[in-house]
Every structure is written in structure tokens, then in C-alpha cells.
């Protein structure tokens, strides 16, 4: 009886499941999305356009396969002739029976490749400083530069907050610029040229605009780097393709044009001063300056003078360090109230691939802006003549329509070699080089840069009469490359020539191959005999690094509205990273050797860390006045810098409360020890205790007193003294770190640099 009941129950369950089994066996497979490439010449004449033909094709197969759903998605007329649709296997089969069918591409999904420095800096939508700072909402960044291209998508105000009520600026009317071009993103645009014109330098009416409109793209690039809105699908001729956006994409931008096109690019100090003055008056929060004047004492440096005035108003001033590296003491904008920025590389490379006729394959650097594929092309190498082998001089009859191998090992003008090869009519070039660089706009013909370690095997093969390039392919971007960051070869180095006892630069930030908006209506470059235009381009320079830091300063300002400029700089410096993405120390791009803080300052900028530094080294105007007093400036010189008739100086020398240390020793002095007094302010939790940790190499003896500090309350201050002794056999430049560490995951790090010349 029990057995019979069990069998009846099992039969009942099977009968209940049977309809589901039957349905599952008879239901067609799930539909999928496909891209269907069609022969556009096969369109019947009775269709008015290709889209109507594509839609009819899909509707017809739907009827044949008895499908009621509307699967049609898009019709394509430019990327290809065809359409996309979500099709069942039956529908796909019917489409592919059509004589007009060319190819089928199954739908694929790719991950987002950004443009790319925000990712390299660790900025994320869901965590860290971006969401905490609301992406820089309500912060105003003033850019002192060459103007702006207001129509760029990077300055769209979609999703922007309203203009802050405190804003006093405006958009001026001028040549090809009307006030209505401004919006909630671009809230101010002014130009300053009276000083230039008074000096008898005429502004070029052929290339420039008598307005805030950008004549060369530089100001547009820096502005969009600092605070550009999201732009999808931006790229440099296919390189670095992804979503472009600024470091503080919700911040507002104001442009102050002070650099103009004349016989050369020119900017008068009076105009720079006027632009900075107006920016202060208008109410900017951050000032980003990617230009510099001659290295002069502060009382002759209008950027330093105007910057101190801005600092007094609570404005953070960020300046490019200059592009005169790798020479030492080449720093510009090194006043201690300015945040001075060096340029570093990022973990993204632009590549071409090369395969020779003997099967050897190589991957090298290239920015050639076209997806050409060179195949089965003769190879040329002038081995017996140094001028030919180095591509200093080439015979057109010998290299015409060939790929030329250029051994540039002992040469210093790679751009010149590219010009020689191009003018000789070569089809492409292979440059064997170790430390030379070409800018993206220099690739007038297909060219690839390869390390000299590949030289022997390439040159030996190229010398044969039958040698060929089997394949050269371009427009490839790789992220995650490294080591990165490295100090860019061109980035100016310390010690600062005006104040060598202040470590400069302060910080390293992305400044190599930064993709951002540019002027779109003039050729960026010439390649293959064609002028090429672009909306976005790769630029390099400390000009590109400075707006990265300006953007980070805007984010920190948005989180900590009451912090002083010195506090924001301290937070950025003391939380900087000291290593690269390969877990090594930061190196120098120029020679591949380990870099020093004379190139990278406190380290590479770390936006998320700067949001919560734990401790800060703060400063106010009186501290800077005392600093100038200690330089021995007379009353006239002091008055020129601080713009007042009365001030107070202490008789005793006092250290500037800077977040870094540099001590200079030399063989002509008997001084063997230097001391620095600093004051820490707690911006973390009350009751925090910090312990001093010293990371010091041989050749330096460093001590800290006290080495433990307890802060009973927030904003409490404590002093400490750091002492440095030098070993006679120490290297010319040596460095270590002082780190204040608590039990709340704060590490407050300062570089200690010793020079021994």
C-alpha cells in the first residue's frame, strides 16, 4: 500500500512537469543582437534610402519566421552600410540568404578605456574623493593661458550646478566670441593684451582672435584637463580612445587669456599681472598657470607677486615648473607660496608593430595617426655611410617608397631625421634610439621607435638586397605599461635657483601624452600629404601637469572649504606616492636611473589620500613675510612683493613651515649639522598619537625631537625639530623620508634632501 501510494505520487509529479518539458523542447533559441553588413549597391530602386531597405529586410524575415517583435535597432551609413538587429536563429538564417548580405558580426561588449589620467590617479565614481567632493561642485578654477574654445564638448554645462552667487566675473565680447557662448561650466572669459600692444608687438590677425578665443589650443587643453565635462569617444586619431573628463568635472571654469600669437608666441608681464588680478577680483578658488617668466628674484617676478596676493585671499595657486629638464636648477615659479608642479609619465603607451621578412617581430612607440598597414615593402639601410645610416642625408633614388632604418644612437635630433626621411620620399621609417623622443605631431610618415638593443639584428637583415618589411601596423594603445610614473625628460629640476633652501618642485603629476580638448578648426599636423584636424589631442609638458594638480586642489577645496592654500598643498604633498606601478622607486625617463625629489618633489599626486591627510603643515601671510625678511630684502624689495608699506620682521631667523626639507652642504663650510623647526596641525581625530619613522640612506644622519606627538584635540598644534648631519663621503644628492604615522592609517610623509656640492 505504501509502495503504491509512492508510485502514484511520482506519476502525478511527472505529469505536472510534462508540459514544461514539451514547451522547452519546442521553443526557439533565444534571440541575439547582430550587426549585418550589407552591399549598399544592392539596394532596390523602389526604396527611397538605405534605412527603409534595411527595415524592410528585417520586417520580411520576421514575417517568414513568424516573429511579431520589432527587432530593428540602427541603420548605418558611415561606419559601414548595414544595420543592427536582435534576431532569432531563424531570422539570421533568412537574412544571410539575401544576395546583398556581406557579413555578420555577433554583438560584443568591451570595457571602458578612459583617457586616462583620472584612472591612473585612482579616481573612482563610487568611492574616494570624487563622490565625497561632488566632483568639485561649486569650485571655480581660473586658468591663465591662451584662451578657450567654448564650443568644445568639454565645456558643456549639462548636469552642472548653477553659477555660485559669489562669482563676479563675466564673459567679454570680442572677435569670434560673444557672451552667450559662456554657460554654467564656462562662467568667465576675458583677455588681456594692452601690455603687449604697448610694447609695439602686433597681435596676428591671421592666426589669433582679439578676444578670449583660443588661437593655439593650449588653454583649451589645460582647461579641459582641470575641469572638463564628460565626453565619450574622444581620441587622438584613434589613440587613447575613451571618455575624456577633467580631474574636477563638476567645477566651473574661467579663462583669462594673456598669451597671444604675434611673430612668436608672446605674453607681457603686465598682461599676466592684469589677468591674475582680474581672476582674484572675480572670485576664483583655484588659479592654474601653465606659463612662466624669467627666473628672477621675487620682487621682479610678477607671477610670484600676484600669487602671494591670491594666497592672501585664500586662492590656491598652481604653476607649471617649466620644460627645461633634465638640467638641474631649471625650475620656474618656485616661490614657496606657489604649488610648483613637475611632469610625469602615465601607464599608457602608443604602439606600432613591425614584422620583418625573416620573421622577426617587434613592438615599438609610434603616434602615426592613420590605420595604415605596410606590407611586403623593401627595406633600406645605408650601412657604409654614417650620414645615410643615421638618416642625416638620404638619396631620394635609393629610398623612394622604401622603409628606411635609421640608427640614431649617436644623434640628438630625431625630429630632423624624420624630416630627412619624409622629404626623401620614403614610405616609412624605423628609428633605433634609446633616449630620444618624437612628439605626436612629428610623425609625418609611418614611423616606429625601437630600442637600440634590437639594432644589430635589424640592421644586419636590412643590409641584404632582398630584405623587406612584411608588416607594419599602427594605432594601438596599451594601458598598464610601465614603470610609471617616471619624471618626464623635459620636466624642470631643482634645486630652485632663487631659493635653493626650499625644495622644488612640490609634486609630480601626469604631464606626458595627456589627451584633452584642443582648437578643432586648424590642422594639428600633416601626415601623408594631408592636413589633419582633431577635437582632442595628446600634449606633453608641465603645462599639462599643472591643471591636474589644480583639479585635485579643487576637489580638496570642495571637501575642506575652510582650509588655507598652504593646508591644501600640505595635504597633497604629504600623501603623495613614492613608487611606480611596478612596485619600484620613481625613475627618470631621460636616463632610466632612479630619480630624486629634485625631479619629483614630495612624490606623485594621490588625490584620494589628500582628502584625509591626518596632519598638515600650515602657513599664513605673516609666515611668508618673515621668509622674505630672512632673504635680506630691503624695504623697496619687500614692498614690491607684499604690496604694503608696513610689516613686521622677527630678528631671529625662523624656518618656513614647509612640508619638505632640503639642506645644502658644501666643502667650503665647516657646518656639519642643520636643524629645521616645523609645526604640525592635527586635522584628524582628537586623541591621535603619531610616531616619527625615518627612512634614511647611508651618508645621512637624521634625528627628530620629539619622536612621538599626541594631539588631544582637532586643530591642535605641536612643534618638532629635525636635525641633519652629513657624512663626508655622501653622494652629491641624497634623500630619505620623515613619516609621521598614527594608528588610524595616516602616514604623513615629507622628503628630506641633502645636496653636497
In this prediction, residue 20 carries a pLDDT of: 36
- Which residues partner with 429 through β-bridges? 404, 447
CA-based radius of gyration for the chain: 31
165 vs 591: CA distance, rounded Å: 51
* Active-site pick, 81, 218, 560, 746: 218
* Active-site pick, 117, 191, 250, 543: 543
pLDDT digit string, tens, across residues 603-643? 999 999 999 999 999 999 999 999 999 999 998 889 888 88
In this prediction, residue 271 carries a pLDDT of: 84
Statement: residue 26 has pLDDT above 60:
no
For residues 212 and 99, state if they share a domain: no
For residues 399 and 491, state if they share a domain: no
Query: Can you give the pTM of this predicted structure?
Result: 0.83
For residues 129 and 73, state if they share a domain: no
3-state percent breakdown (helix, strand, coil) of the chain, nearest 5? 25, 30, 45
* Active-site pick, 145, 208, 285, 580: 145
Statement: residue 17 has pLDDT above 60:
no
Statement: residue 16 has pLDDT above 60:
no
In this prediction, residue 68 carries a pLDDT of: 66
Would 628 be classed as within a structural domain? Answer: no
Q: How confident is the model at residue 11 (pLDDT cuts 50, 70, 90)?
A: very low
The more confident residue out of 4 and 677 is 677
Helix (H) or strand (E) holding 747: strand 747-756
- Which residues partner with 267 through β-bridges? none
Would 316 be classed as within a structural domain? Answer: yes
Q: Tell me, yes or no, if 543 is annotated catalytic.
A: yes
- The C-alpha cell at 747 is 602616514
Would 43 be classed as within a structural domain? Answer: yes
Query: In this structure, are residues 43 and 50 in contact, taking their beta carbons and an 8 Å threshold?
Result: yes
CA dihedral 117, 118, 122, 128 (to 10 degrees): 160
Cis peptide before 116 (omega within 30 of 0): yes
For residues 370 and 308, state if they share a domain: no
Beta strands in 146-280 (DSSP E): 186-191, 231-236, 239-244, 252-257, 260-261, 265-266
Statement: residue 373 has pLDDT above 70:
yes
How remote is the C-alpha of 209 from its chain's centroid? 27
Q: Tell me, yes or no, if 145 is annotated catalytic.
A: yes
Statement: residue 205 has pLDDT above 90:
no
What's the half-sphere exposure (Cβ side, CA atoms, 13 Å) at 343?
28
Nearest to 458 by CA among 590, 364, 360, 564: 360
For residues 710 and 581, state if they share a domain: no
In this prediction, residue 79 carries a pLDDT of: 35
Contacts of 407 (CB under 8 A, 6+ apart): 381, 389, 390, 432, 455, 459
For residues 206 and 282, state if they share a domain: yes
Last residue of a domain, one of 106, 128, 161: 106
For residues 686 and 672, state if they share a domain: yes
pLDDT digit string, tens, across residues 667-684? 655 557 899 999 999 999
Last residue of a domain, one of 477, 504, 525: 477
117 vs 633: CA distance, rounded Å: 42
- What's the mean pLDDT in 211-215? 96
Q: How confident is the model at residue 70 (pLDDT cuts 50, 70, 90)?
A: low
Would 684 be classed as within a structural domain? Answer: yes
Q: What percent of the chain has pLDDT over 70?
A: 92
For residues 69 and 152, state if they share a domain: no
Would 644 be classed as within a structural domain? Answer: no
pLDDT digit string, tens, across residues 675-722? 999 999 999 999 999 999 999 998 899 999 999 999 999 999 999 999
CATH of the domain at 77: 3.30.70
CATH of the domain at 741: 2.60.40.2310
609 vs 128: CA distance, rounded Å: 9
For residues 525 and 601, state if they share a domain: yes
Statement: residue 601 has pLDDT above 80:
yes
Would 87 be classed as within a structural domain? Answer: yes
Would 182 be classed as within a structural domain? Answer: yes
Q: How confident is the model at residue 29 (pLDDT cuts 50, 70, 90)?
A: low
Would 194 be classed as within a structural domain? Answer: yes
Q: What percent of the chain has pLDDT over 90?
A: 65
In this prediction, residue 375 carries a pLDDT of: 93
Q: How confident is the model at residue 77 (pLDDT cuts 50, 70, 90)?
A: low
In this prediction, residue 264 carries a pLDDT of: 65
Statement: residue 232 has pLDDT above 80:
yes
Last residue of a domain, one of 477, 503, 538: 477
- The C-alpha cell at 494 is 631643482
In this prediction, residue 559 carries a pLDDT of: 97
Q: How confident is the model at residue 302 (pLDDT cuts 50, 70, 90)?
A: confident
Query: How do strand 101-106 and strand 32-38 relate by DSSP bridges?
Result: antiparallel
In this prediction, residue 59 carries a pLDDT of: 87
State how many domains the chain has: 4
pLDDT digit string, tens, across residues 258-298? 998 876 667 888 888 889 999 999 999 999 999 988 899 99
Q: Tell me, yes or no, if 236 is annotated catalytic.
A: no
CATH of the domain at 423: 3.50.30.30
For residues 256 and 329, state if they share a domain: yes
The mean predicted confidence, pLDDT, of the chain is 88
In this prediction, residue 668 carries a pLDDT of: 58
Would you tell me how many other CB atoms lie within 10 Å of the CB of residue 43? 17
- 78-92, 334-348, 486-500: the lowest-pLDDT one: 78-92
Statement: residue 113 has pLDDT above 70:
no
Query: In this structure, are residues 515 and 115 in contact, taking their beta carbons and an 8 Å threshold?
Result: yes
- Which residues partner with 277 through β-bridges? none
- Which residues partner with 221 through β-bridges? none
For residues 261 and 142, state if they share a domain: yes
Burial class (CB in 10 A: 0-12, 13-18, 19+), 472: buried
What residue numbers bound the domain in which 668 lies? Answer: 615-619+656-756
In this prediction, residue 650 carries a pLDDT of: 85
- 65-69, 456-460, 680-684: the lowest-pLDDT one: 65-69
For residues 161 and 277, state if they share a domain: yes
Q: How confident is the model at residue 13 (pLDDT cuts 50, 70, 90)?
A: very low
pLDDT digit string, tens, across residues 142-168? 999 999 999 999 999 999 999 999 999
Q: How confident is the model at residue 74 (pLDDT cuts 50, 70, 90)?
A: low
Measured in degrees and rounded to the nearest 5, phi and psi for residue 473 equal: -130, 145
CATH of the domain at 509: 3.40.50.200
In this prediction, residue 41 carries a pLDDT of: 80
Amino acid at each position: 500500500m505504501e509502495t503504491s501510494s509512492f508510485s502514484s505520487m511520482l506519476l502525478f509529479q511527472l505529469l505536472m512537469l510534462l508540459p514544461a518539458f514539451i514547451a522547452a523542447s519546442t521553443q526557439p533559441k533565444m534571440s541575439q543582437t547582430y550587426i549585418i553588413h550589407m552591399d549598399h549597391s544592392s539596394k532596390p530602386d523602389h526604396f527611397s534610402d538605405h534605412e527603409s531597405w534595411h527595415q524592410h529586410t528585417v520586417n520580411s524575415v520576421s514575417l517568414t519566421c513568424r516573429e511579431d517583435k520589432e527587432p530593428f535597432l540602427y541603420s548605418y551609413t558611415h561606419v559601414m552600410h548595414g544595420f543592427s538587429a536582435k534576431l532569432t536563429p531563424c531570422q539570421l538564417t533568412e537574412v544571410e540568404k539575401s544576395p546583398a548580405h556581406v557579413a555578420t558580426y555577433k554583438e560584443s561588449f568591451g570595457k571602458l578605456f578612459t583617457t586616462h589620467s583620472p584612472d591612473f590617479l585612482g579616481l573612482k565614481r563610487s568611492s574616494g574623493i570624487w563622490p565625497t567632493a561632488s566632483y568639485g561642485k561649486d569650485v571655480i578654477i581660473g586658468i591663465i593661458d591662451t584662451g578657450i574654445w567654448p564650443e568644445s564638448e568639454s565645456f558643456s554645462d549639462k548636469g552642472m550646478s548653477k553659477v555660485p552667487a559669489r562669482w563676479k566675473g563675466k564673459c567679454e565680447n570680442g572677435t569670434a566670441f560673444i557672451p552667450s557662448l559662456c554657460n554654467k561650466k564656462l562662467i568667465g572669459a576675458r583677455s588681456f593684451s594692452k601690455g603687449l600692444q604697448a610694447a609695439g608687438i602686433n597681435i596676428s590677425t591671421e592666426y589669433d582672435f582679439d578676444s578670449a578665443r583660443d588661437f593655439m589650443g593650449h588653454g583649451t587643453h589645460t582647461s579641459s584637463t582641470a575641469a572638463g565635462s564628460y565626453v565619450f569617444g574622444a581620441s587622438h586619431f584613434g589613440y587613447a580612445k575613451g571618455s575624456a573628463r577633467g580631474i574636477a568635472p563638476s567645477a566651473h571654469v574661467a579663462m583669462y587669456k594673456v598669451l597671444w600669437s604675434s611673430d612668436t608666441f608672446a605674453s607681457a608681464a603686465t598682461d599676466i599681472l592684469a589677468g591674475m588680478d582680474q581672476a582674484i577680483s572675480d572670485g576664483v578658488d583655484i588659479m592654474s598657470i601653465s606659463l612662466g617668466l624669467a627666473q628672477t628674484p621675487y620682487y621682479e617676478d610678477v607671477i610670484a607677486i600676484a600669487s602671494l596676493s591670491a594666497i592672501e585671499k585664500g586662492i590656491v595657486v598652481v604653476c607649471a615648473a617649466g620644460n627645461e629638464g633634465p638640467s638641474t636648477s631649471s625650475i620656474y615659479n618656485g616661490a614657496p607660496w606657489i604649488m610648483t608642479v613637475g611632469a610625469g609619465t602615465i601607464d599608457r603607451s602608443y604602439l606600432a608593430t613591425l614584422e620583418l621578412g625573416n620573421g622577426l617581430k617587434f613592438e615599438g612607440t609610434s603616434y602615426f595617426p592613420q590605420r595604415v598597414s605596410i606590407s611586403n615593402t623593401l627595406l633600406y639601410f645605408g650601412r657604409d655611410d654614417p650620414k645615410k645610416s643615421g638618416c642625416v642625408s638620404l638619396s631620394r633614388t635609393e629610398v623612394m617608397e622604401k622603409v628606411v632604418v635609421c640608427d640614431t644612437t649617436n644623434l640628438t635630433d630625431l625630429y630632423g631625421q624624420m624630416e630627412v626621411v619624409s622629404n626623401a620620399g620614403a614610405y616609412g621609417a624605423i628609428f633605433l634610439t634609446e633616449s630620444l623622443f618624437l612628439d605626436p605631431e612629428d610623425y609625418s610618415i609611418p614611423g616606429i621607435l625601437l630600442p637600440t638593443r634590437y639594432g644589430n639584428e635589424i640592421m644586419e637583415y636590412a643590409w641584404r638586397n632582398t630584405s623587406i618589411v612584411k608588416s607594419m601596423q599602427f594605432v594601438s594603445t596599451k594601458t598598464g605599461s610601465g614603470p610609471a610614473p617616471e619624471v618626464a625628460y623635459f620636466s624642470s629640476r631643482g634645486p630652485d635657483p632663487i631659493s635653493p633652501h626650499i625644495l622644488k618642485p612640490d609634486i609630480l603629476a601626469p604631464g606626458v601624452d595627456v589627451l584633452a580638448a584642443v582648437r578643432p578648426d586648424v590642422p594639428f599636423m600633416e601626415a601623408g600629404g594631408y592636413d589633419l584636424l582633431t577635437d582632442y589631442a595628446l600634449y606633453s609638458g608641465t603645462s599639462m601637469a599643472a591643471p591636474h594638480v589644480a583639479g585635485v586642489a579643487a576637489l580638496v577645496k570642495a571637501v575642506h572649504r575652510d582650509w588655507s592654500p598652504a593646508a591644501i598643498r600640505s595635504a597633497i604633498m604629504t600623501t603623495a606616492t613614492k613608487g611606480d606601478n611596478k612596485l619600484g622607486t620613481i625613475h627618470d625617463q631621460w636616463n632610466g636611473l632612479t630619480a630624486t625629489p629634485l625631479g619629483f618633489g614630495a612624490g606623485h599626486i594621490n588625490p584620494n589620500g589628500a582628502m584625509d591627510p591626518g596632519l598638515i603643515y600650515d602657513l599664513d601671510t605673516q609666515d611668508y613675510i618673515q621668509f622674505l625678511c630672512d632673504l635680506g630684502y630691503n624695504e623697496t624689495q619687500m614692498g614690491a612683493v607684499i604690496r604694503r608699506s608696513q610689516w613686521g620682521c622677527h630678528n631671529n631667523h625662523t624656518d618656513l613651515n614647509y612640508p619638505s626639507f632640503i639642506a645644502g652642504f658644501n666643502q667650503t663650510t665647516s657646518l656639519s649639522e642643520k636643524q629645521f623647526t616645523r609645526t604640525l596641525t592635527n586635522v584628524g581625530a582628537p586623541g591621535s598619537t603619531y610616531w616619527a619613522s625615518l627612512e634614511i640612506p647611508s651618508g645621512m644622519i637624521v634625528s627628530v625631537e620629539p619622536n612621538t606627538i599626541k594631539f588631544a584635540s582637532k586643530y591642535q598644534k605641536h612643534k618638532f625639530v629635525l636635525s641633519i648631519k652629513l657624512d663626508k663621503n655622501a653622494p652629491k644628492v641624497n634623500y630619505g623620508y620623515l613619516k609621521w604615522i598614527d594608528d588610524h592609517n595616516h602616514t604623513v610623509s615629507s622628503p628630506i634632501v641633502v645636496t653636497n656640492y
